[in-house]
Amino acid sequence: MADWNPALYTRFEDERTRPAAELLARVPLAAPRLAVDLGCGPGNSTALIAARYPDAAVIGLDTSPAMLESARARLPGLTFGLADAAAWTPERAPDLIYANAVLQWLPDHASLLPRLFGLLAPGGVLAVQMPDNLAEPTHRLMREVAASGPWAAAIGDPAVAGRLGRMLEPAAYYDLLAPHAAAVDVWRTAYHHPMADAAAIVEWVSATGLRPFLDPLDADGKAAFLAAYGRAIDAAYPARSDGRRLLAFPRMFIVARKAP
Protein backbone atom coordinates (compact mmCIF):
# COMPACT_ATOMS: atom_id res chain seq x y z
CA MET A 1 0.00 0.00 0.00
CA ALA A 2 0.97 3.63 -0.39
CA ASP A 3 2.30 5.38 2.70
CA TRP A 4 -0.13 6.58 5.34
CA ASN A 5 -1.46 10.13 5.49
CA PRO A 6 -0.97 11.42 9.07
CA ALA A 7 -2.99 14.59 8.45
CA LEU A 8 -6.01 12.58 7.29
CA TYR A 9 -5.60 10.05 10.10
CA THR A 10 -5.50 12.71 12.82
CA ARG A 11 -8.67 14.52 11.69
CA PHE A 12 -10.52 12.19 14.05
CA GLU A 13 -7.74 11.99 16.62
CA ASP A 14 -9.97 12.37 19.70
CA GLU A 15 -12.11 9.42 18.61
CA ARG A 16 -9.07 7.32 17.67
CA THR A 17 -7.24 8.10 20.92
CA ARG A 18 -10.13 7.23 23.24
CA PRO A 19 -9.74 3.43 22.87
CA ALA A 20 -5.96 3.84 23.14
CA ALA A 21 -6.42 5.53 26.51
CA GLU A 22 -8.91 2.92 27.68
CA LEU A 23 -6.52 0.13 26.72
CA LEU A 24 -3.65 1.77 28.62
CA ALA A 25 -5.85 2.27 31.68
CA ARG A 26 -6.20 -1.51 31.99
CA VAL A 27 -2.45 -2.23 31.86
CA PRO A 28 -1.47 -3.59 35.32
CA LEU A 29 2.07 -2.19 35.43
CA ALA A 30 3.27 0.34 37.99
CA ALA A 31 6.71 1.24 36.67
CA PRO A 32 7.87 -0.47 33.46
CA ARG A 33 11.45 0.16 32.45
CA LEU A 34 10.90 -0.28 28.72
CA ALA A 35 7.61 0.27 26.89
CA VAL A 36 7.24 -0.26 23.13
CA ASP A 37 4.39 1.30 21.17
CA LEU A 38 4.13 -1.11 18.25
CA GLY A 39 2.42 0.58 15.31
CA CYS A 40 2.70 3.98 16.94
CA GLY A 41 1.23 5.95 14.03
CA PRO A 42 1.51 9.72 14.52
CA GLY A 43 2.41 9.31 18.19
CA ASN A 44 -0.98 9.95 19.81
CA SER A 45 -0.82 6.62 21.66
CA THR A 46 2.90 7.01 22.40
CA ALA A 47 2.15 10.30 24.14
CA LEU A 48 -0.29 8.51 26.46
CA ILE A 49 2.32 5.91 27.41
CA ALA A 50 4.99 8.53 28.05
CA ALA A 51 2.62 10.57 30.22
CA ARG A 52 1.63 7.57 32.35
CA TYR A 53 5.18 6.22 32.67
CA PRO A 54 7.50 9.27 32.70
CA ASP A 55 10.44 7.24 34.04
CA ALA A 56 10.22 4.52 31.39
CA ALA A 57 12.15 4.31 28.16
CA VAL A 58 9.39 4.60 25.56
CA ILE A 59 10.00 3.57 21.94
CA GLY A 60 7.55 4.04 19.08
CA LEU A 61 7.76 1.73 16.04
CA ASP A 62 5.89 1.83 12.75
CA THR A 63 6.22 0.79 9.11
CA SER A 64 5.22 4.24 7.81
CA PRO A 65 7.94 6.88 7.36
CA ALA A 66 5.25 9.59 7.17
CA MET A 67 3.71 8.50 10.47
CA LEU A 68 7.13 8.35 12.12
CA GLU A 69 7.96 11.84 10.90
CA SER A 70 4.72 13.10 12.45
CA ALA A 71 5.40 11.26 15.71
CA ARG A 72 8.93 12.69 15.99
CA ALA A 73 7.58 16.21 15.46
CA ARG A 74 5.01 15.66 18.19
CA LEU A 75 7.37 13.98 20.68
CA PRO A 76 10.96 15.04 19.90
CA GLY A 77 12.27 13.66 23.17
CA LEU A 78 11.30 10.05 22.42
CA THR A 79 12.79 7.39 20.18
CA PHE A 80 10.98 6.25 17.03
CA GLY A 81 12.01 3.75 14.39
CA LEU A 82 10.93 1.65 11.42
CA ALA A 83 9.77 -1.86 12.27
CA ASP A 84 7.23 -4.41 11.07
CA ALA A 85 5.28 -6.00 13.92
CA ALA A 86 5.15 -9.29 12.03
CA ALA A 87 8.92 -9.74 12.21
CA TRP A 88 10.10 -7.31 14.91
CA THR A 89 12.38 -8.61 17.65
CA PRO A 90 13.52 -6.23 20.43
CA GLU A 91 17.14 -5.80 21.45
CA ARG A 92 16.04 -6.31 25.07
CA ALA A 93 12.80 -7.66 26.43
CA PRO A 94 10.18 -4.94 26.99
CA ASP A 95 8.00 -4.72 30.07
CA LEU A 96 5.13 -3.44 27.92
CA ILE A 97 4.31 -4.18 24.29
CA TYR A 98 1.42 -1.91 23.42
CA ALA A 99 -0.22 -2.43 20.02
CA ASN A 100 -3.11 -0.08 19.39
CA ALA A 101 -5.03 -0.48 16.10
CA VAL A 102 -2.21 -2.20 14.22
CA LEU A 103 -2.38 -5.99 14.47
CA GLN A 104 -5.63 -6.17 12.48
CA TRP A 105 -3.53 -5.40 9.40
CA LEU A 106 -1.44 -8.54 9.89
CA PRO A 107 -2.32 -12.19 9.15
CA ASP A 108 -1.90 -15.36 11.20
CA HIS A 109 -2.92 -14.09 14.63
CA ALA A 110 -2.68 -17.65 15.95
CA SER A 111 1.11 -17.35 15.63
CA LEU A 112 1.54 -13.58 15.87
CA LEU A 113 0.09 -12.90 19.31
CA PRO A 114 1.86 -15.76 21.13
CA ARG A 115 5.11 -14.66 19.44
CA LEU A 116 4.73 -11.07 20.66
CA PHE A 117 3.77 -12.28 24.14
CA GLY A 118 6.90 -14.42 24.23
CA LEU A 119 9.08 -11.34 23.66
CA LEU A 120 8.08 -9.81 27.00
CA ALA A 121 10.25 -9.60 30.08
CA PRO A 122 9.04 -11.57 33.13
CA GLY A 123 5.96 -9.86 34.53
CA GLY A 124 5.51 -7.91 31.30
CA VAL A 125 2.24 -7.06 29.60
CA LEU A 126 1.00 -7.35 26.02
CA ALA A 127 -1.79 -4.81 25.43
CA VAL A 128 -3.69 -4.96 22.14
CA GLN A 129 -6.61 -3.04 20.68
CA MET A 130 -8.00 -3.86 17.24
CA PRO A 131 -10.95 -2.48 15.29
CA ASP A 132 -13.46 -5.31 15.01
CA ASN A 133 -15.74 -3.71 12.45
CA LEU A 134 -15.42 -5.85 9.32
CA ALA A 135 -19.10 -6.81 9.60
CA GLU A 136 -20.24 -3.18 10.01
CA PRO A 137 -21.87 -1.35 7.06
CA THR A 138 -18.73 0.76 6.56
CA HIS A 139 -16.66 -2.31 5.74
CA ARG A 140 -19.34 -4.56 4.28
CA LEU A 141 -20.13 -1.82 1.75
CA MET A 142 -16.45 -1.42 0.86
CA ARG A 143 -16.44 -5.02 -0.30
CA GLU A 144 -19.80 -4.80 -2.06
CA VAL A 145 -18.91 -1.62 -3.95
CA ALA A 146 -15.48 -3.03 -4.83
CA ALA A 147 -17.06 -6.12 -6.40
CA SER A 148 -19.75 -4.30 -8.37
CA GLY A 149 -18.07 -1.58 -10.41
CA PRO A 150 -15.58 -1.05 -13.24
CA TRP A 151 -12.79 -0.93 -10.64
CA ALA A 152 -13.32 -4.58 -9.60
CA ALA A 153 -10.44 -6.00 -11.64
CA ALA A 154 -7.97 -3.42 -10.35
CA ILE A 155 -8.93 -3.99 -6.71
CA GLY A 156 -9.03 -7.78 -6.93
CA ASP A 157 -10.64 -10.01 -4.33
CA PRO A 158 -12.63 -7.75 -1.96
CA ALA A 159 -12.19 -10.27 0.85
CA VAL A 160 -8.41 -9.93 0.61
CA ALA A 161 -8.53 -6.13 0.38
CA GLY A 162 -10.98 -6.09 3.28
CA ARG A 163 -8.79 -8.33 5.48
CA LEU A 164 -11.55 -10.89 6.02
CA GLY A 165 -10.51 -13.89 8.07
CA ARG A 166 -7.70 -12.19 10.01
CA MET A 167 -9.56 -11.40 13.23
CA LEU A 168 -10.38 -14.17 15.68
CA GLU A 169 -13.18 -14.37 18.22
CA PRO A 170 -12.43 -13.09 21.75
CA ALA A 171 -12.43 -16.61 23.18
CA ALA A 172 -9.86 -17.71 20.60
CA TYR A 173 -7.45 -14.97 21.70
CA TYR A 174 -7.98 -16.01 25.31
CA ASP A 175 -7.20 -19.63 24.45
CA LEU A 176 -4.04 -18.62 22.57
CA LEU A 177 -2.58 -16.65 25.46
CA ALA A 178 -4.01 -18.15 28.65
CA PRO A 179 -1.76 -21.24 28.76
CA HIS A 180 1.32 -18.97 28.80
CA ALA A 181 0.03 -16.06 30.90
CA ALA A 182 -0.52 -15.23 34.52
CA ALA A 183 -3.72 -13.40 33.54
CA VAL A 184 -5.61 -12.56 30.36
CA ASP A 185 -8.31 -9.90 30.04
CA VAL A 186 -10.31 -9.85 26.80
CA TRP A 187 -13.23 -7.55 26.09
CA ARG A 188 -15.12 -5.92 23.24
CA THR A 189 -16.55 -2.40 23.18
CA ALA A 190 -18.76 -0.76 20.56
CA TYR A 191 -18.31 2.99 20.34
CA HIS A 192 -21.03 5.10 18.72
CA HIS A 193 -19.47 8.21 17.22
CA PRO A 194 -21.70 11.11 16.15
CA MET A 195 -20.54 12.21 12.70
CA ALA A 196 -21.52 15.39 10.88
CA ASP A 197 -22.71 13.62 7.75
CA ALA A 198 -22.10 10.64 5.48
CA ALA A 199 -19.06 12.38 3.96
CA ALA A 200 -17.42 12.48 7.40
CA ILE A 201 -17.81 8.70 7.71
CA VAL A 202 -16.20 8.26 4.30
CA GLU A 203 -13.37 10.58 5.34
CA TRP A 204 -12.81 8.57 8.54
CA VAL A 205 -12.41 5.23 6.76
CA SER A 206 -10.45 6.76 3.86
CA ALA A 207 -7.50 7.03 6.25
CA THR A 208 -7.67 3.36 7.26
CA GLY A 209 -9.96 0.61 5.98
CA LEU A 210 -10.54 2.08 2.50
CA ARG A 211 -6.83 2.32 1.69
CA PRO A 212 -6.45 -1.18 0.17
CA PHE A 213 -9.46 -0.48 -2.05
CA LEU A 214 -8.33 2.97 -3.20
CA ASP A 215 -4.57 2.43 -3.60
CA PRO A 216 -4.83 0.32 -6.82
CA LEU A 217 -7.02 2.93 -8.56
CA ASP A 218 -6.05 5.97 -10.63
CA ALA A 219 -7.48 9.39 -9.79
CA ASP A 220 -10.63 8.94 -11.85
CA GLY A 221 -11.19 5.46 -10.47
CA LYS A 222 -10.80 6.67 -6.90
CA ALA A 223 -13.29 9.49 -7.46
CA ALA A 224 -15.84 7.14 -9.00
CA PHE A 225 -15.38 4.52 -6.28
CA LEU A 226 -15.73 7.12 -3.51
CA ALA A 227 -18.88 8.54 -5.11
CA ALA A 228 -20.51 5.10 -5.23
CA TYR A 229 -19.35 4.23 -1.74
CA GLY A 230 -20.55 7.59 -0.40
CA ARG A 231 -24.04 6.96 -1.75
CA ALA A 232 -24.10 3.56 -0.08
CA ILE A 233 -22.91 5.02 3.23
CA ASP A 234 -25.52 7.79 3.04
CA ALA A 235 -28.26 5.15 2.77
CA ALA A 236 -26.79 2.87 5.46
CA TYR A 237 -26.36 5.58 8.11
CA PRO A 238 -29.58 7.64 8.28
CA ALA A 239 -29.65 11.02 9.97
CA ARG A 240 -30.46 10.89 13.66
CA SER A 241 -32.70 13.30 15.58
CA ASP A 242 -30.07 16.06 15.52
CA GLY A 243 -29.18 15.55 11.86
CA ARG A 244 -25.94 13.71 12.55
CA ARG A 245 -25.04 10.15 11.57
CA LEU A 246 -24.11 7.63 14.26
CA LEU A 247 -21.09 5.50 13.39
CA ALA A 248 -20.97 2.24 15.33
CA PHE A 249 -17.36 1.15 15.79
CA PRO A 250 -16.70 -2.13 17.66
CA ARG A 251 -13.20 -2.71 19.00
CA MET A 252 -11.55 -5.70 20.66
CA PHE A 253 -9.14 -5.37 23.59
CA ILE A 254 -6.64 -7.86 24.99
CA VAL A 255 -4.38 -7.41 28.01
CA ALA A 256 -2.18 -10.41 28.84
CA ARG A 257 0.31 -10.43 31.72
CA LYS A 258 3.35 -12.71 31.86
CA ALA A 259 4.26 -14.45 35.07
CA PRO A 260 7.10 -12.77 37.05
Domain ranges for the chain, please list them.
Answer: 1-131+167-192+249-260, 133-164+197-243
Architecture of domain 1-131+167-192+249-260: 3-Layer(aba) Sandwich (3.40)
Structure pTM?
0.93
pLDDT in tens, the chain (260 residues): 565 566 666 677 788 899 999 999 999 999 999 999 999 999 999 999 999 999 999 999 999 999 999 999 999 999 999 999 999 999 999 999 999 999 999 999 999 999 999 999 999 999 999 999 999 999 999 999 999 999 999 999 999 999 988 999 999 999 999 999 999 999 999 999 999 999 999 999 998 899 999 999 999 999 999 999 999 999 999 999 999 999 999 999 999 999 99
Q: Which helix (H) or strand (E) holds 253?
A: strand 245-257
| pLDDT number for residue 1 | 58
Residues in CB range of 75: below 8 A, 6 or more apart:
43, 46, 47, 50, 60
Cβ atoms of residues 130 and 113 within 8 Å: no
> Which class is 133-164+197-243 in CATH?
mainly alpha
pLDDT at 181: 98
Contact assessment for residue 27 and residue 255, using Cβ atoms and an 8 Å cutoff: yes
| pLDDT value of position 15 | 86
Could you give the angle at which helices 137-148 and 198-206 cross, rounded to 10 degrees?
80
Strand partners for 125? 96, 257
Q: So what's the pLDDT on residue 7? A: 66
Residue 72's pLDDT is what?
Answer: 97
Sign of CA dihedral 95, 48, 36, 33: negative
